[in-house]
Amino acid sequence: MRENENEKIYKPRILKESMIIPGDSSELPDDFFKVVVFIDNAYLIRLKNYFFKKKFKYDLKNFILNIAEKNNFFVEKIFIYDAPPFQTENPSDKENKRKEYYDRFAGFFKKQGIVLREGRTQRLRAGDKFIYKQKGVDMLLGIDAVSVLNDFPNVDGIVLLTGDSDFVPVVEKLKIQNVRVFLWTYFDRIRSSFFSRSNYLIKSVEEYFKLTKNDFLEAEIKI
């Protein structure tokens, strides 16, 4: 149900019964949009943890392709942006386990043809504790997005999966290049929430799709 009847909610053009998979798009019907998907993984992880308070496993590729199908998109390529966990010169067992966990998922992405682009993780001292921040990740995403026509000259548009309004200048640059930009995101109306609505980002794109808990459930890995 809409939160506001005047709110712009993206509606799928035509729903298809067949799964849309990356590959040769030469035989696609004309009403399919060819897109490249750029994923802000820190945002996606936070959203998954928001919907699921306990451990939940899902297949990222199926997650993306299912949503693409709902939007009548053909996915040319999937890019995901993250940073390896911070490690000291002599890593502790805990640090090594984090890195092993990260590397395992990086391997899954590679097997599925998903391109992982990595920044770095910076550790900063805050009193008697440490805080960790990703560095260079958003920059990589922005550079790749505005360069999309160089590597994918026949693409019809791009999808940004994020909630970060810092990407608005990227969207504006893509508009100048006549690249259509679509947003997959989530927002709520809870003040001070991490997912509080960013009209600035939403208004900058051509259309947006609001992600739901069910989108994750449809790609759940059931053991």
pLDDT at 186: 93
Count of other CB atoms within 10 angstroms of residue 48: 16
Average the pLDDT over each of 109-123, 145-159, 170-184 and give the range with the smallest value: 109-123
Domains of the chain (ranges, CATH numbers):
33-217 (3.40.50.1010)
Among 66-70, 117-121, 146-150, 177-181, the range scoring the smallest mean pLDDT is: 117-121
Average pLDDT value for residue range 128-140: 77
Q: pLDDT, tens digit, for every residue of 104-124?
A: 888 889 999 999 998 776 666
pTM for the model: 0.81
Give me the pLDDT at residue 17, please.
Answer: 38
DSSP annotation string for the chain: --SSTTS-----SS--SSPP-SS--TT--TTPEEEEEEEEHHHHHHHHHHH-SS---B-HHHHHHHHHHHTTEEEEEEEEEE-PPP--SS--HHHHHHHHHHHHHHHHHHHTTPEEEE-EEEEEEETTEEEEEEESHHHHHHHHHHTHHHH-TT--EEEEE---GGGHHHHHHHHHTT-EEEEEE--B--TT-TTB--HHHHHHSSEEEE--HHHHHTTB---
User: Is the pLDDT score of 5 beyond 50?
Assistant: no
Cβ-based neighbours of 123, under 8 Å, separated by 6 or more: 86, 130, 131, 132
With cut-offs at 50, 70 and 90, classify the pLDDT of residue 6: very low
Residue 3: pLDDT band (50, 70, 90) is: very low
